[in-house]
Amino acid sequence: MRYTKRYQDMKTRLLSYVTHSSDCWDSTLSINPTGYSKVKVDKKSLMAHRVSYELFKGPIPEGLVIDHLCNNRACINPDHLEAVTIAENNRRRATRQHYTKGHEYTPVFIRSLGNNRCTLCFNK
C-alpha cells in the first residue's frame, strides 16, 4: 500500500467502521465466510486487518502474514495484529486453547482448503 495523504484519510474511514468490544476493534464492514472483514480500496476488496496493520504500523514485510493475537478475525485493532511467518501463524492457531465460537478449538487440516479448520465448526 502506498502511503499518501489519501491513505491518511483511509485511517479515518476505516475507524468509522469499528465497534469496540473490550479491547478489540470489531469491524462492521462485510465479513467473508472465513470471518475476516473486507474493505474497498481503489476499487479493490482487501482484508481490513491487513489494511489496518499497514495504516497504523507500516508495510507488511515480504513473506509474512498478519496474526490476530486476540483470535478475533473481525478485529482490526493494530495492537492485536502481528506480522509473523505462515509457519508461526499455523503453530499459534494449533495451540490456542479457546476459540471465539464458544468452545475449545479442535484443529484439523483440510487439504482441499489448504489450512487448519475447527473440526466442530467445519462439521456443522
Total number of domains constituting the chain: 1
Which position has the higher pLDDT, 39 or 4?
39
Range of the domain at 64: 5-84
pLDDT of residue 17: 87
Is residue 122 a part of any domain in this protein?
no
Share of the chain above pLDDT 70, in %: 68
Which pTM value belongs to this model? 0.72
16-30, 32-46, 54-68, 109-123: the lowest-pLDDT one: 109-123
In this predicted structure, the answer to whether residue 91 has a pLDDT above a threshold of 60 is yes
Enter the C-alpha cell of residue 6.
Answer: 489519501
Which residues, at least 6 apart from 31, have a Cβ–Cβ distance to it below 8 Å? 37, 38, 74
Is residue 107 a part of any domain in this protein?
no
pLDDT of residue 20: 75
